[in-house]
Structure 1
Amino acid sequence: MHPRQPRRTTRRPRRQTCALAMLGAACSMMPLAAAHASGIPFATDRPQTWQFSSDFEGTYDSFGQNIEWNHDSRAFDSHGNQVAGPGTNTFVGLSTFIHYWKVPSLPHVGFNASITVPEIRTQGSQFSASGIGDPLVGGLVWYNPAPATTLGFQAYVQVPIGQDSVSTNTWSFWPSVFYDDWYGHVNVDLLVGGILRGRTLRSGHDDLSPGNTFHLNLRVGYSLSPPDNPFAIPFVGFDYQTSGGTFNQTAFMPVANSASRETAVGIGVLFQFKPNSLPFLHQKMYDQLSIQYQHSVSGRNTTLTNGILVQAWHYW
């Protein structure tokens, strides 16, 4: 749900940075119906996730595939202590298509619209569930106050039409603001947002009002090559989420220990295959691949993040 685009000119701003397209929606959509499920929203972010350039003509598209694996062997209890987790392995795929465009009267502004479809599987000795999850649809708008700087707003709606075993059965709204900039070889990428949830309605079960979520996602990367032609960018990450408790509307009472929070850190590297030199100077296509490892450092009422996240993106 958030991407970037290839620069179409050969001009290089002074303090700048690349003009490469970035990842699209990297939302971490775990089965939110489970009160103790892990998964910080947008944990798949990496450097330049929110870097967009308005230096393009016409329209372009991108497709991304995220693959997340988490080993749910440990959990945080209601006091923040580590205890044995469910022992499952959770796999989430996120398939995203994004379309980008501009309005001629707004030269430093760009737009995109996207759809993300999650594929989910949780497997353990006592439990397993798999299927197509609830899709996320929406888009974003960004503004470039300088060629290397991006500010923007995005909004998505998660539609509860996934398969029963992995659906949230809950309409939700995902608004957030983002910032990306370069400081020499250093890229700073920041997202701050939330998830506003409606009532959970599931036949044969009590009606629930899940708590809302606040999240923060920070990535700091260092380009080993000049920032206007990056290839490998090692990075560190910091992710945080806090979610309010669930209220049982049928029993008219709060669900015990349903409020959660989690802080995780990570390391990774982003590779970019951008044919921006001869003989490919005017070619719009390029690809990106990132891999990162994340681990929780604190939390409450959630399984620990302890997993690998991989992304592959193609722009054309």
Structure 2
Amino acid sequence: MTHRYSALLRLSFVSLLGVGAHAQAQTTFDVIGPREYELPVDFEPFNVFVQYATVQDNARAYNDDGDRVAGSGSKATTGMSKYVRFWSPESNRNIGVAWEVIVPTVAIRDRSAPEGDRHISGIGDTLTGFAIWYRPRSHITLGFQSFLQIPIGTERVSDTNWKNLSSLFWDWRLGDKFGWTGDAGFVWQGERTSGVQPGLTWHSNHRFAYRATKRLEPFIALDNEHTRANDGLPEAWALDGGVGLMIHTFDNQSISLRYSTSLDGRNHSVNDSFNLKYAYVW
């Protein structure tokens, strides 16, 4: 397959893992992988399917003093199925545009919960939105993306409020082997049915990767977010680190594996998760 097809494979775009108040252990947008934003311009329309999966152990949490204390003890398994349509407009072939729809699923097991609440599962709140980017240099991609999260998920896993997730993103190829992909942005949330409106969240995500062989690309992950106090909810923040491996299985497919843990935080769950991402382009 041509290099253009291979580049399009990496179009998976960021997505929020927060598909329910019970499942928000990871930081915003930490699902991204290396080369997430190494995006082409001047290409024919294509489609991408991406499947994310995360298994999170909520055994520990940060309290208001920043100390690690016992968490809920629950285990959350989340998935996100994403379809992306992307194209380069005829009016300007030097930019790329994409539209995507993401459907999350959530399953939470908590043996210490009351009977009837020990296993909660359902469809999370759907996300949809766009991204636009250009390449000022052959080795650099710069772009902007914005998503709307719609509170139409299953009652027990829905956050019950509207959200807007907007961010800048970039990809910088440092020679033939090294690469840095990342983003920085915010999450605005509307009022929940409980009457509470969470504060504004700022986040950034970074992936530093090394293309060791044709098939294998190990990487380091750094993710952080900061949520303002609002409506009785305390200020919260977290800094996470992780290690992973991207496997370039075929020209039109890849698999990324990652383990992440929290390095520091306050009023936030401790990240202790295994993450998988599968991408397919056609």
- What TM-score do the two structures reach when normalised by structure 2? 0.92
> What amino acid is aligned across from residue 240 of structure 1 in structure 2?
N
Indicate conservation of the 8 Å contact 1:136/1:159, yes or no.
Answer: yes
RMSD: 1.9
Match of 2:228 in 1: 244
The size of the alignment, in residue pairs, is: 276
Q: Hey, what does 1:282 align to over in structure 2?
A: none
**Contact 1:62–1:315, Cα closer than 8 Å, also in 2:** yes
One-letter amino acid matched to 1:218:
H
Inter-partner Cα distance in structure 2 for 1:93 and 1:119: 5
Provide the residue aligned with 1:224 in structure 2: 212
Residue from 156, 159, 164 that aligns with 2:150: 159
1:23 deviation in Å? 4.5
Q: 2:241 aligns with which of 265, 275, 280?
A: 265
Question: What secondary structure, in the 3-state scheme, does the structure 2 residue paired with 1:87 have?
Answer: coil
How many Å separate the matches in 1 of 2:186 and 2:153?
21
Are 1:187 and 2:179 matched, yes or no? yes
Q: Aligned to 1:266, what secondary structure does the other structure show?
A: strand
Matching residue of 1:27? 15
Please tell me whether the aligned partners of residues 14 and 29 of structure 2 are also in contact (alpha carbons under 8 angstroms).
yes
Query: 1:42 is matched with which residue?
Result: 29
Matches of 2:248 and 2:2, distance apart in 1: 11
Of structures 1 and 2, the larger Rg is shown by 1
The answer to whether the Cα contact below 8 Å between 1:28 and 1:39 also exists between their aligned partners in 2 is no
Separation (CA, whole Å) in 1 of partners of 2:135 and 2:192: 39
Match of 1:80 among 44, 57, 66: 66
Q: Are positions 1:208 and 2:196 aligned together?
A: yes
Partner of 2:279: 313
User: What does 1:60-79 align with in structure 2 at a 5 Å threshold?
Assistant: 60-79=46-65
Match of 1:280 in 2: none
Structure 2 distance, partners of 1:158, 1:195, is 10
Q: Does 1:51 align with 2:38?
A: yes
Q: Percent identity?
A: 26
Which residue pairs with 1:298 in the alignment? 264
Report the Cα offset of residue 104 of structure 1. Answer: 2.2
Deviation at residue 6 of structure 1 after TM alignment: 6.6
Alpha-carbon shift at residue 28 of structure 1 (Å): 3.9
TM normalised by structure 1 equals 0.83
Runs of 4+, deviation exceeding 3 Å: 5-9, 31-34
Is contact 2:20-2:125 (8 Å) kept?
no
CA contact (8 A) 2:17 2:30 kept: no
Q: Which amino acid aligns with 2:241?
A: V
Letter in 1 for 2:187: I
Per-residue CA deviations over 1:256-287 (Å, capped at 9, x if unaligned) read xx321110000001111344xxxxxxxxxx10
Distance 2:2 2:97 in 1: 14
Q: Is the 8 A contact 2:242 2:258 kept in 1?
A: yes
1:84 corresponds to which letter in structure 2? A
1:135 maps to 2:122? no
Preserved CA contact (<8 Å) 1:30 1:37: yes
Contact 2:42–2:95 (Cα < 8 Å) also in 1: no
Query: 1:273 and 1:148 mapped to 2: Cα distance?
Result: 23
Give 1:267's aligned amino acid.
Answer: V
Q: Name stretches of at least 5 consecutive residues in structure 1 with no aligned partner.
A: 10-17, 248-253, 276-285
Q: Structure 2 regions of 5+ residues with no counterpart?
A: none
